[in-house]
Amino acid sequence: MMNLLLGYQPLLDLFLLHLGLAYAQWLVLRAGVFSLGTVGLAAVGAYTGGILVVTYGLPAPLALIASALSGGLVALALSVPLARLRGIYQAIATVAFIQIVLSLNIYATNVTGGAQGITGIPKTVGTPLLLLAGAATIYLMYAITHSRLGRAFDAIRQNEAVAASLGVSIVRHQTLAFVLSGALAGVYGALEAFHSYALVPSQFGFPYLIAILSYVVFGGRTSLWGPIVGTAVLILLPEVVRPLADARMLVFGILLILTINFLPKGIADTLIERARGRRLGARRPAEADTAKGS
Amino acid sequence: MLLQQLLNGVVVGGVYALFAVGFNLVFGVQRLLNLAHGAVFMTGAFVAYYTVRAGGPLILGFVAAAVASGVLAMIIEVVCFRRLRKSGDAEFGAIISSMGAGMVIMTFWQWVSQTQVLRFPFDTVPVVIYRFWGLRVSLLQLMMAAAAIAIVLVMAWFIYRTAFGRQVRAVTDSERASMLVGINPNRIYNLTYFISGALAGAAGVLVGLAFNNINFTMGEPYLMFGFAIIILGGLGSIPGALMASLIFGMVQTLSIAYLPSGLTTAFIFSAMFLILLVRPNGLMGREEAGSLRGRR
């Protein structure tokens, strides 16, 4: 039994690391910010952590705090132009941000190690710490969801004009969501660096972005369960069905198309809505639908 | 030296124009970003390569590539976008859906090419270099420029001088109003996606010839450049995309020539960020990039 569990430990670690980034992506989408830049912010955090630990010999916990700060600060700076843009333009701008981070990391060889990246990062993060981080993240998201803040995010996502007329400041809330998401991405970027000995710039590129987005879209973009379900299913799927492991990209691609077309709310959100609808009788789900659809 | 770089830049810009005009045409008509456009572009290069390797002449490869890419783009629209457009939240959905389509197409070509870098047989285009006024132009560059100009001219004639083009522009302005006057929008969408895909496929062949390097990831950087170009030109504006492609081609070759190597990408995307900040609608875009709060 123990052996079996140990065999799956790398998978559990992977799940926890990706879950954190999935929540970072989920948080911005929930506040109606159309950002795809989570991976770039994770890169900022990972490099901050890696450089501080390897080059300057800082202890890992301090470096982790610095990573959170750097992710949050970069997100704060990025939120200024983003606040002036609309939907698709935000998506394009954040994809450009990922490219800028990527090419700067490759260019600044004497700081970031260039294309070779940073090696020899002491491994200070194991499964227990990741479990703790996962629990803390879920609690934090739970707390946000069930506070005034979460309701404000929901209102903005569903209808900006209505939210503004209710006295919810859109710019302030979206900036807050983006900065929180940036700090979270920074922390998980650094956790990834401290977990795997080495960092390379291409690690935080387009494929990673697609993976993170798939988790959130597949699981669900509004409920707390979305990222958990999405990340768990999509990470387990290639492991359970071995022949699929080679065709990971193909499976992700087809799943993305099918999910967004036929289950646009994602698995978890759809199931939760159904359960709620059954509990409240036949009249309510129709209302819930109109409220949810934005 | 500077003149030579500018000339190279114009040729590169012509190829970018093929890519970006199609990208932007689709955005103009449906207000959706097709993130599989890079994969369509790559498909063109692959189809031409396999045609030439099977013994076909290059011109046949070129036509086959354009047709195959056009049909592929049409399929993407039907499979990925048609259902979404009726659901309301198409803007986000289209990004996800077309991202998925891009991955499927990339995996397909990865399998077909077995992750190899493919090269056109030597002498597919003879290496001939012309010199005049101290400038050097290769036959390939001339071909690229000629093909780009010809294709863009034909497309411009199509969009601005034919009944079909009028219908496309009508649907661009308002889908509902154009339905009222008897235009079938789905037919228009099929055709615009076909044109968009065919343009991308043609660009793919030219890029494959120019760098003689065809592989299953070749579409990704072009998709990124495509973003930068349509932001500069204005989302949805075809003249804007044309102008921006030429500017972009020249800026890129100049920055490769004069900036420290490795900074080109960072420079290009930082410039794009600046444009988004200062002039989010680009050179010739419509007034729509600003958010609700921007207007307040």
Q: Which residue of B has its CA nearest to A205?
A: B220
Q: Do A261 and B228 touch (CB under 8 A)?
A: no
Alpha-carbon gap: B26 to the closest alpha carbon of chain A (Å) = 14
At B34 the three-state DSSP class reads coil
Specify if A1 maps to a domain. Answer: no
Q: Do B290 and A81 touch (CB under 8 A)?
A: no
In this predicted structure, the answer to whether residue B296 has a pLDDT above a threshold of 50 is: no
Specify if A4 maps to a domain. Answer: no
Alpha-carbon gap: B105 to the closest alpha carbon of chain A (Å) = 8
Q: Does B107 touch chain A if contact means CB atoms closer than 8 Å? A: yes
Name every residue whose Cβ is closer than 8 Å to that of residue A190 and which is 6 or more positions away in sequence: A45, A46, A48, A49, A50, A63, A64, A67, A68
- Name every chain B residue with its beta carbon within 8 A of the beta carbon of A85: 276, 280, 289-291, 294
Mutate to test the interface with B, among A39, A80, A89 (most CBs of B within 10 A): A89
Domain B2-291 belongs to what topology? ABC transporter involved in vitamin B12 uptake, BtuC (1.10.3470)
Q: Which residue of B has its CA nearest to A161?
A: B292
Q: Does A91 touch chain B if contact means CB atoms closer than 8 Å? A: yes
Q: Does A160 touch chain B if contact means CB atoms closer than 8 Å? A: yes
Specify if A135 maps to a domain. Answer: yes
Greater pLDDT, A2 or A163: A163
Asked which of B194-203, B217-226, B287-296 is least confident by mean pLDDT, the reply is B287-296
Range of the domain at A107: 9-292
At residue A282, the pLDDT reads 57
Specify if A2 maps to a domain. Answer: no
| Contact (CB, 8 A) for A174 and A31 | yes
Taking only the tens place, the pLDDT of each residue in A121-161 is 888 888 888 899 999 999 999 999 899 888 898 888 888 88
Q: Domain boundaries in chain B?
A: 2-291
Report the domain count for chain A.
Answer: 1
Taking only the tens place, the pLDDT of each residue in B98-114 is 988 998 998 888 888 88
Q: How many CB pairs below 8 Å do chains A and B form together?
A: 145
At residue B289, the pLDDT reads 53
For range B234-243, the mean pLDDT: 82
- Name every chain B residue with its beta carbon within 8 A of the beta carbon of A219: none
Give the C-alpha separation, A201 to B265, whole Å.
Answer: 14
At A143 the three-state DSSP class reads helix
Q: How confident is the model at residue B142 (pLDDT cuts 50, 70, 90)?
A: confident
Specify if A70 maps to a domain. Answer: yes
Taking only the tens place, the pLDDT of each residue in A178-218 is 999 999 999 999 999 888 888 888 888 888 888 898 899 99
Specify if A3 maps to a domain. Answer: no
At residue A5, the pLDDT reads 63
At residue A191, the pLDDT reads 92
Which of A102, A170, A294 faces B293 most closely, judged by CB atoms? A170
Q: How confident is the model at residue B293 (pLDDT cuts 50, 70, 90)?
A: very low
In this predicted structure, the answer to whether residue B150 has a pLDDT above a threshold of 90 is: no
Q: At what angle do helices A148-158 and A170-195 cross, to 10 degrees?
A: 110
Which of B91, B104, B224 faces A253 most closely, judged by CB atoms? B104
Mutate to test the interface with A, among B99, B218, B248, B272 (most CBs of A within 10 A): B99
Name every residue whose Cβ is closer than 8 Å to that of residue B180 and which is 6 or more positions away in sequence: none
- Name every chain B residue with its beta carbon within 8 A of the beta carbon of A212: none
Name every residue whose Cβ is closer than 8 Å to that of residue B193 and which is 6 or more positions away in sequence: B26, B70, B73, B74, B76, B77
Greater pLDDT, A117 or B97: B97
Q: Do B292 and A96 touch (CB under 8 A)?
A: no
The listed range with the strongest mean pLDDT (A100-109, A227-236, B146-155) is A227-236
Give the C-alpha separation, B232 to B235, whole Å.
Answer: 8
Give the C-alpha separation, A96 to A113, whole Å.
Answer: 22
Specify if A34 maps to a domain. Answer: yes
Q: Does A88 touch chain B if contact means CB atoms closer than 8 Å? A: yes
| Contact (CB, 8 A) for A93 and A80 | no
How many CB atoms are located within 10 Å of the residue B183 CB? 17
Greater pLDDT, A284 or A148: A148
Alpha-carbon gap: B280 to the closest alpha carbon of chain A (Å) = 8
| Contact (CB, 8 A) for A103 and B263 | yes
| Geometric angle at alpha carbon B33, from B29 and B38, rounded to 5° | 115
Q: DSSP string covering A156-170, please? A: HHH-HHHHHHTT--H
- Name every chain B residue with its beta carbon within 8 A of the beta carbon of A81: 273, 276-277
Burial of A263 (0-12, 13-18, 19+ CB in 10 A): middle
How many CB atoms are located within 10 Å of the residue B22 CB? 33
Which of B88, B99, B291 faces A210 most closely, judged by CB atoms? B99
Specify if A97 maps to a domain. Answer: yes
- Name every chain A residue with its beta carbon within 8 A of the beta carbon of B277: 81, 84
Q: Does A290 touch chain B if contact means CB atoms closer than 8 Å? A: no
Average pLDDT score, chain A: 85
Alpha-carbon gap: A100 to the closest alpha carbon of chain B (Å) = 5
Q: Does B115 touch chain A if contact means CB atoms closer than 8 Å? A: no
Q: Which residue of A has its CA nearest to B34?
A: A88
Taking only the tens place, the pLDDT of each residue in B16-48 is 888 888 888 888 888 888 889 999 999 999 999
Mutate to test the interface with A, among B76, B105, B261, B293 (most CBs of A within 10 A): B293
Mutate to test the interface with B, among A261, A263, A270, A292 (most CBs of B within 10 A): A261
Give the C-alpha separation, B218 to B214, whole Å.
Answer: 7
SS3 content of chain B, % helix, strand, coil (to 5): 75, 5, 20
Q: Do A250 and B107 touch (CB under 8 A)?
A: yes
Q: Which residue of B has its CA nearest to A218?
A: B96
Give the C-alpha separation, A202 to A210, whole Å.
Answer: 14
At residue B96, the pLDDT reads 87
